[in-house]
Amino acid sequence: MAISQKQIEDFKNQLRTMKEEVLQRNKNREENLDTDQVRGNENHMGNAGTAEYEHAREITLSQNDEQLIDEINEALQRIDEGTFGICVDTGEEISIDRLEAVPYAKRTIEAQKQYDQQKNPVDERLNNKREDNTQMIDLIEKEHE
């Protein structure tokens, strides 16, 4: 079922609102970091570890937000190009339910699962490592027989 023009406009407004919220959140985060640095909390020995952790956490959150803004901008661009709601990998329509849950989605659920598996083949590497360990244990046991 194709997305109606009204739905596209609704998604566009939702994406713009999301983007503004993320930008505001980043601005607030930066202001908080600046305030903490002015106070000099990092200079106290007891607070050094906590301050370092908080700083690293804030940087990670900012990086995640930057990635989210990129995803939102890509979705807005797809709206302008007339390809919003179409999977970038398969060309299939993305379900309205998925777009309502993740309005910047660029893949169907199935295509996203495949993409994630290709991007992060962690399980396969762990299984290979487990097999390697098993082979190593077998070799050691044979040596001690």
Looking at the 3D structure of the chain, how many domains does it have? Answer: 2
Q: In this predicted structure, what is the pLDDT of residue 51?
A: 73
Residues 129 and 63 reside in one and the same domain: no
Residues 22 and 76 reside in one and the same domain: yes
Contact 104, 75 (CB under 8 A): yes
Closest C-alpha to 110, from 121, 86, 94, 130: 94
Dist. CA 133–CA 145, nearest whole Å = 19
Residues 68 and 139 reside in one and the same domain: no
Residues 82 and 55 reside in one and the same domain: yes
Residues 38 and 84 reside in one and the same domain: yes
Closest C-alpha to 72, from 103, 101, 94: 103
Q: In this predicted structure, what is the pLDDT of residue 37?
A: 54
Q: In this predicted structure, what is the pLDDT of residue 111?
A: 96
Instruction: Print pLDDT tens along the chain (145 aa).
Output: 689 999 999 999 999 999 999 999 988 888 876 665 545 554 555 666 777 787 788 888 888 999 999 999 999 999 999 999 999 999 999 999 999 999 999 999 999 999 999 888 765 545 554 445 566 566 666 666 5
For residue 104, how many other CB atoms are within 10 A of its CB? 21
Closest C-alpha to 79, from 118, 105, 47: 105
pTM of the entire predicted model: 0.70
Domain encompassing residue 118: 108-145
Residues 101 and 112 reside in one and the same domain: no
